[in-house]
Amino acid sequence: MSELRIALEAGLQALGLELAPAQVDALMQFQELLGKWNKVYNLTAVRDPQEMLTHHLLDSLAAVPALRRYLGQMPAHEGRTAMLDVGSGGGLPGVVFAVCCPQIDVHCVDTVGKKAAFIQQVAATLRLPNLRGIHSRVEQLTARYPLISCRAFASLVDFTTWSSQALQEGGAWMAMKGKHPNDEMAALPDDVRVFHVEPLEVPGLDAERCIVWLQKSVAD
């Protein structure tokens, strides 16, 4: 077993995240693809495989338990649930979410065509029918989603403003952030409210991380 896989499995255990062996295989294969395509497409500034595992894979995996809890609380409806990952870049966290939550369809939107093409390549190589790359500006999307995520994408104001038309009524935004973004939260307009800030601990990473959960405010 490779050192990277051992480190990944130790990280999953630390997060209390149960995945099937095939899902762990898919995550390792994704990291391999990310490293390979990165040489040509410059998907991430992180080059070292161990650092890529910690700063990208485990950092994204740290949000999966929170995502699973939220999905479990959503009202049941016919058909599959889709979520939108904005500014997905090299597929983080979108690909990780698609691997770990096969019950939902994950659409990764990016303005850079080669990054959306990479997501499509990952979907084909890993045989993930629930993963899709979209080359577009998020403001131009016409589909609406009950959940919209981002990771290190933009300020909370820009993220919610740009993706507002894509959020379903009653839906939520899931913004992965570093340290608690007090200033960004204070700058939010009256029609957007934070309903939860969830601290995250990333195995092997000595840095603050959190998820900011937001919704559109309901008029009185």
The string of pLDDT tens digits covering residues 120-146 is 999 999 999 999 999 999 999 999 999
- For residue 131, the model assigns a pLDDT of 98
Phi, psi (rounded to 5 degrees) for 117: -65, -35
Classify residue 46 by its DSSP letter. Answer: -
**What is the value of pTM for the model shown?**
0.95
- For residue 37, the model assigns a pLDDT of 84
- For residue 219, the model assigns a pLDDT of 64
- For residue 74, the model assigns a pLDDT of 86
Q: Across the 220 residues of the chain, what is the mean pLDDT of every consecutive 10-residue run? A: 91 97 97 85 73 90 97 83 93 97 97 94 97 97 97 95 97 97 97 97 94 87
CA dist., res. 162 & res. 153, Å (int)? 11
The CB density around residue 86, as the number of other CB atoms within 10 Å, is: 25
Phi, psi (rounded to 5 degrees) for 192: -125, 130
User: CA-based angle 114:82:98, to the nearest 5?
Assistant: 60
Domains and CATH numbers, the chain: 3-216 (3.40.50.150)
Query: Can you tell me whether residue 31 is helix, strand or coil?
Result: helix
Percent with pLDDT over 90 in the chain = 82
- For residue 218, the model assigns a pLDDT of 78
CA dist., res. 21 & res. 25, Å (int)? 6
Tokens 């161990």 locate to 50
Indicate the helix (H) or strand (E) that contains 157. helix 156-163
The C-alpha R_g of the chain, in whole angstroms, comes to 17
Indicate the helix (H) or strand (E) that contains 59. helix 59-61
Give whole-number Cα distances, 128 to 18, 38, 45, 87, 100, in Å.
Answer: 19, 20, 25, 20, 11
